[in-house]
Amino acid sequence: MAILAIIVLAGLTALLAMAADFGHINVARSEMKRSADAAALSACWELYDGTVSGASAEATKNDIVDMASQIASANEISSRGPALNGDSDVEVGYYDPDQPGQIDTSVPDRFNAVRVNLSQIDGSNGEVPLFFGDVTGRHSQSMQTSSIAAMFKAISGFKTPPSSDQNLQILPIALDLETWESVVAKETTDNFKYVNGQVTSGSDGYFECSLFPTGTGSPGNRGTVDIGSSNNSTSDLRRQILHGISADDMNQLGKPLQLDTAGTLELNGDTGLSAGIKAQLEQIIGQKRIIPIFTTVSGNGNNATYTIVRFEGIRVLGVKLTGPMNKKHLTIQPAPMVARHSIILEGGVEESDFLFTPVMLVE
């Protein structure tokens, strides 16, 4: 019996050692994935910051690698902070949801993603040490993982904010596609810039246009759109200009604020801009907002219907809605910004020029 007890005890000891090391391996795998996820997310936000500043992805590669390395090392694996090799462990490129697992590094202007490759192997951070190698005969475990974080510009619409304290930063004023494309192509004017919280005269590379309605037909007949009830009052517009579109507005809209399969969305609206919203527009000078872009408008006055085809990010630079008609303006310029609560539609939606989804993990 004593001999049998010793044999059973030895077997149980070996099983317990294997179970402990197996548990440690699983914990280390979770820690490694967490570290890679955190590093990829932070690095992709660094890519976004570089894009907003006007720098190319290549110019910000060092900052992206530094951020990934810093965050990875702060998320320890088996009580050790991993190190990244910037040349091979951090990849910046373009991620297409229709081609999972691939990062295209051939077109820097389209870069929207960062992949972090994390290894615990001989020659790279070392294998994860095990506790009971003397019992099991296995002293360490090699591990590898990768994570991809990306931001997208194929935005087809917006979800209803989940709570009353969250709004969509959409300015309920539409601009025609023809004018927007002229602005992006730098065919208009570049007379103002936003620096250190102030709008001043000068060039900054972002060309301007006015949201104030021009002409009398399509597509130049700009105006406000009703994102809420079918007859937004001036007080509704004032609130939306200052604070954005609320969950209650989305519920009152009665349909999704999203492009359909044909890539269009019809919104009721009013042609022209009232001086009654001048004060609220002045309060958001310098701030970023999202505007709907339309191709056609039918009807007049408060019977207008705008055909929306995309959404874009802009900054309000100046407002004048009183005085002679040729002096009135609502001057804006493109501005890269994050579209909270946005919806991504894979395929069929043209990418925005200056609007991004929040950074998200995709793999």
> Three-state secondary structure along 161-203?
CCCCCCCECECCEEEEHHHHHHHHCCCCECCEEEECCEEEECC
What is the value of pTM for the model shown?
0.83
Pairing of strands 198-201, 265-271: unpaired
The tens-digit pLDDT sequence of the chain (363 residues) is 877 767 767 666 666 656 666 666 777 788 889 999 999 999 999 999 988 887 777 788 889 999 999 998 898 887 777 888 777 889 999 998 888 888 888 888 889 999 999 887 776 776 767 666 555 556 667 778 899 999 998 899 999 998 888 999 999 999 999 999 999 999 999 999 888 888 899 998 899 999 988 654 444 578 899 998 777 788 999 999 999 999 999 999 988 999 988 889 999 988 888 888 999 999 999 999 999 999 998 887 778 899 999 999 999 999 988 888 778 889 999 999 999 999 887 655 678 889 999 999 998
For residue 38, report the phi and psi dihedrals to the nearest 5 degrees. Answer: -65, -40
Cis peptide before 82 (omega within 30 of 0): no
- Provide the token pair at 159: 């979800």
CA distance 285 to 199: 8
Helix axes 61-74, 2-52, angle to 10 degrees: 150
Q: Which residues pair with 199 in a beta bridge?
A: 194
> Could you say which DSSP state residue 110 is in?
G
CA distance 157 to 135: 59
Burial (CB < 10 A; 0-12, 13-18, 19+), residue 296, is middle
For residue 321, report the phi and psi dihedrals to the nearest 5 degrees. Answer: -115, 15
